[in-house]
Structure formats: C-alpha cells, structure tokens
Chains A and B, each alone.
Chain A
C-alpha cells in the first residue's frame, strides 16, 4: 500500500471537511428544540425598542404573575419595521421549527399562515376565555376566517386620523377640522395660500393609508369592507371618483413625498411647515414623546363614525413546543390586565370594550369611546384587510401613481390585484 503522502493528506482533509459539514448540520437541528417538557414560552416579535418594547415588558409582567409556572423567553428580532423578523419567521416555519407564539397583524394578513396550516384554530379558547363578548363584533367578524378565529389581538390602532398643527391652521383661519372632502379641499387651499405644505405625506404605505381614507369617505364603511371580500367592484365609477379626489389631494402634498418616512412628514407638521397629516394614532404617542403639544386630531374628512383599525396579535403555531404555556400567554394577551399593561405603555388602545378609560391619556380616551360606538373597518397596508401579496401589489401600483398620476392605470392595477388575491 504505497499510497502517496499527498493522497493521504488529501483524504484526511476531505474527511475533516465532511465531518465539519455534517457536524454543523446536526448542531443547528438539535440546538433549537427545547424538549417536550419545556416550560419556556418563546415569544417572537419585532418589538425591540421604544414604546413597543415597553409595552412588551408590561405584558411580560402580567404574564409572569398570571402564569407563574411558565418562563417568558424573548425571541424579538429587531430592525426593518418587522421585515427582518418576517424573514426569520418564514424560515423557521418552513423548517417546522416555530416559536411558541409569534406576532402578526390581525386579520387577512394571517391568511398566508392559515392557508398553509401553520397556525391553530383558537375558536374554542375564545369561548372559554370569554373573548367573544369582550371584543366588539366588527373586530370578531374581521378576525373570523371560515368560521374560525386564529389570533388574539393585543391592541388596537386607528389608521384614519387627521393630525394638524393648531398654530398653522389658526394662521390660515381654520378653527375646526373639515368633515367633508369639499370643505377639506377649501381648507387646503387656504393653507396653500399661506405658503405652507397643506398636507404632509410620506412614501408607499403612507400613501396607501391616505388613499384608503378617501375610499372610505367616498364609499362608506360597508362598501369599503366589500372591497376586500369581493362584494364591491374595484372597477366601479365610484372608485374612479375616489382616485380622482386622491389625485387632487396629492397636488396639495410635499413633492418629495417618495423620499419621506412618516416621521419626516410628521416633522413638517411639528415645524409648522405643513398644516395636516394623515397617520395612524401611534402619532399621538410620538408627538407627545417629542414634546409637541399644539396638535389637533379628528377623523379624516368623511370618515366620522368609521374606525379603521389595525392590530398586533399573537397566534398558536402548529408544532409549538409548549402549547399550555402558549395558551397561557394568549389568555394573558386577551385579558383585561394584559391589555392594560401593554397598551398604556405602547400608546394604543385595548381591543376589549370593558377597559377603564381613566387609565389612559386624553387621545386614547377619545379613541376608546369611538372604538365602542363606531363602525369598524380594516386596513390593507396594515394587514387587517388583505394578505401580504395584495399589500405588495397595491403598494407598487400606488408608488407608480405617485410618479405618473395615471388614474386608469391605477384602477386597472387595483382591479387585477383584487382578482388575484381576493377570496372568491
């Protein structure tokens, strides 16, 4: 056996490499499973800092007193407004190695997970925990897919709120926010005459929000809801009219909107360079945090009595290691204590209708009253009305419209997106 030295070295090298490769493989498989008797509950979120982190901490406090036997494990993935976390989550779900529970927008965005059988039905738990009666009916309707409910919302935000700088508005002679689109256009003209940007706007999803507010004003809540379930026709002339109004609104906005995040648009309002901005009610917490007091808020014109909601929720993934622990977490999330602990810190309102308003700041008190009395409609850019694929298609079409203003093309794109993604 006179195998040369070189060959021997080569053999050893190959063997070592193969060993290393297989070693890595088996390592990553075994490290993440926690064993079946585990008492850990891994909660996967993208709440890693700011008010969101504070809210999560509050929730964890409530969880550890309600479920003393279970241990909270923070599985937060920071960055990219959740897009990083979604990538990691998708990979883990593909490998059938889910966290014990994960954060997802409540509503239609969950359909991707439901269709692929990645999350469990929670309808029975809803009855056991009394959630069916504590959440308003409009919310329950939107959460229900084919008679089943798959997620527990931790909070509610409102999307269709018009924020204003009181000082700027007063200087243009506006004392009361408009309640109809026509009156609103008149006010915007006054602001334009003052030489400020009448309506501050940001990029993609912020434009989607503005467009949806116009749709609600034109169609009313029922027809608007129908857009996402297939009962309202996207090709209708009322949609064309809404797009026309929206196009007119864009002429009142800052030209560099496609470079702006929502906080950049917010800064225009704070600095007195813009009169109005449409944004979700996380803006209240942000304005307070930035020490800006002179802001006004009202539902977007024509949106009175309509509460466009979005919610963060938690689910029970199929194959979760610690099902009992996860259920205890979900129960805490849905409970009055849990919702209070979370929402007073995050600046949103509880989904439950039995919360005590006195625990909350002024804006949230008003929002809670509206939440009880208004009609609830979902939002596409925030996942409560449509799937992620639909969101992407609309965002792209809207981005195109922002540059070319082609009404027919936008409507065509919306029609074909609905055709592709709406449930028949």
Chain B
C-alpha cells in the first residue's frame, strides 16, 4: 500500500503539471495552436515547417511555437490519463475492500477520459469561454479526487491518525473554506473570460485597460480573496490550539493553503500595479487550483476512513 500511496501522489503531481501546461496554453493564447484534434495539423507530431501543412489548412494558422505549447498540454494530459487508469486498475485489483479508494480512482479515470475528449470540444468551439472554464474546473476536480484518494490511503497507512477526534467546528471550517474558495475560483474564471472577450472585441486595449473594464467583479474578487486568505489564516491558528490531535495531512494542508493564499494576494497586487503579466497569471491560476486541492485534502482528512 505504501507504493500505491506514492503512486497516487505522483499522479496528483502530474495532474498539476497538466494544469500548469494548460495554464501556459491559456496565457500564451496557444489554444488553437493545433486547429484539429487529436492530431496537430493532421500529424501525430506537429509539423516543423510550413510545407508539411495539409492543403486545406490556412497557413496563417501555423505557428510552430503555439502548436508545440498546445501539443505539450495534450501529451502531459495523456500521461495523466495513463497514470490514473493504472491507479484505478491497481485499486480494483488490490484494494477492493476500500470502497472510497476504488470509487475515487474509477471516478477520476472516467473524468480524465472525458476531459481528454472535452479537449476536442474546446478546440472545435474555437475556445468558447464557458467551455474553456469547464475544462479548467474538470482538471481541478480530477486533482481533487486523486487527492481524496491519497488522503484515504494516507489515513489507512497511518492508522494512529485514522480516527482523530477532530473538533466539529474544524469540520465546519473546512467545509466553509472550501465553499468560499469555490466561489472565489468561479469569480476568477469569470474575470479571465471577460478579459479574453474584451481582447477579442477590442484588441487594442492594454491589459490594464481590460482589467478596469471588467468592473465590479474585480472588486468582489479582491475583497473575497482578502477575506478567504484571512479565514485560512484564522483556521490555521485554530488548528494550532489542538495540534496534537490533528492529522498531519490536515496540518500540512492548512500550512500550505495559508502560504499559497498569501502568495495569491501578492499576485493579485501585481495585476493591479503592473497589469496582466502572463507569468503572474499562470501562477495565479495554478496556485488557485493547488489551494483547492489542499482544501479538498483538509476536508478529506476531517472525515474518518471507513473500512468496509
């Protein structure tokens, strides 16, 4: 079971790597770097010169850099698909009595297969904003499920912590933080969509001008971000009071979320002061998904592991 635990952790790492690769696609505008799917310009390996393009494709669309950025996202996605499928098979063969582990890995496997296919919808929709956002949420959901599985395995491994007497208010805190963060994540994606739409409709607006145009949602996102970060810190202090009975995953999750929440605020300030810096956007998007993962981990470790 220890190797399975390591394997699920590796899978989680790869899911975040694909979120990172997907974020790169988003900030570089490489989403249509390959106009077809699953192949790229009709080839399994993207073309390296304009002569290799199929005749029905407009050469203006060909940009080797963007094609490879998009294709890397697909390749890493495929690795994740294989890893999760392997985890599901492993769980079915070896850990059948732990229903949550089996169900979790199977759900993740189904979702990752769906996500792969959904990538084709993203491309054929020519990057419809809602579809792109759902694509991102699905990735976070997959990461969340695998983290849930990891937390279950971890609890089984560290039996002394598998039945913690967690004060009920900590459970409520976990749930509250998770819900708050979900709203915040949703608002963030709305801002991103609006910015993208503005870029399409008014290409000459600068990043800062576009942000200003977004208007009220920006302010809500900022206010909620500050609230959420404060709440995560208060939660961390609350945990410190009962340090000895708190499972270590929960402690790790809370500490991680507290640090990352602070970084998110700093990145938010970067947007306000310097505009939409691509690298800051990429990290803002990735860290948001990691915070969601940590909150899911916190939530998972406040519930007991059932053996049935």
Q: Do A and B come from one complex?
A: no
Interface residues of B (CB under 8 A from A): none
